[in-house]
Amino acid sequence: MSNKKHLVVVGAHCGDAEIQAGAIAHKYAKAGWEVTFLHLTPGEKGNPPHISEEKYKKQKMKEAEKVAKILGGKSITLDYKDAELTINDEIITHIATWMRKLRPTVVITHWENSIHPDHALCPRLLQAAQMKAGLPGFDLEGLAPHYYPFYHSENWEDMEGYEPDIYIDVSDEFDTYLEALSNYWFIMNSTSFRYYDYYKALGTVRGCLNRSKYAQTLKYPTGGNVRKGGFIPGYEI
């Protein structure tokens, strides 16, 4: 088992985790942390007209692997279907089992309010899995219990009530972050939303507020003991 600290970023679809916290993840990877992007679904239903759903699923998973490598991490994609996530014991147990396998030091995921149902379900699933992974009374493939803290990150579809608690300076990581994002077809070619432009501008705006060139933000879970700062609390680098 690795003794490295481990940052796990969980997104509903391939691409979510990276656009939300890819620069933060890269910052921690450079500092020697292990980094994993865990995607609950490939996000295959956003397929362009000329590509089948199945082919686009494979394409997105390959893109996710390439993006993760650029950012200094690895990619894992679970086989749930895009736009069909739900809260049930099977999914919670599956995620909890992965958390015991990965043993994250800290987890970053979506904010709890979203216009996309998959996004809104993601933190609820992580919170339920947090309990199941952490309690020794659950036997999950014989794996040792593991409890993890988690934070929310910023996605354009998840902005209702999102007010940042933590601004992380990612000025030195932002160019690599943008390079990584450019490997996702949907980020560079979507006709419904200008992903690349938005996240470049968002990093700039958050940087202005942070008095740095670029920044990405995090938010505590509702009801959490909020402490402001420039790093993931307790995990300064």
On the question of pLDDT at 229 being above 90, the answer is no
Mean pLDDT along residues 223-231: 76
The CA-CA-CA angle for residues 65, 69, 70, to 5°, reads 120
When pLDDT is cut at 50, 70 and 90, the band that residue 25 belongs to is: very high
Residue partners of 162: CB distance under 8 A and separation at least 6: 111, 113, 152, 154, 219
Domain ranges of the chain: 6-219
Model pLDDT, residue 226: 72
pLDDT > 90? residue 40: yes
- pLDDT band with cut points at 50, 70 and 90 for residue 224: confident
pLDDT surpassing 60 at residue 1: no
Give first-to-last CA distance, the chain, whole Å.
22
CATH topology for 6-219 is Rossmann fold (3.40.50)
pLDDT at 223: 83
Residue 203 clears pLDDT 80, i.e. is over it: yes
Determine phi and psi for 28, rounding to 5 degrees: -75, -35
Sign of CA dihedral 233, 125, 118, 222: negative
pLDDT in tens, 59-96: 999 999 999 999 999 999 999 999 999 999 999 999 99
Q: Are 69 and 60 in contact (CB under 8 A)?
A: no
Q: What is the pLDDT of residue 2?
A: 64
Sheet holding 34-41, edge to edge: 74-77, 34-41, 6-13, 106-109, 150-153, 215-219, 166-169
What local confidence, expressed as pLDDT, does residue 160 receive? 98
- Whether 71 contacts 29, CB under 8 Å: yes
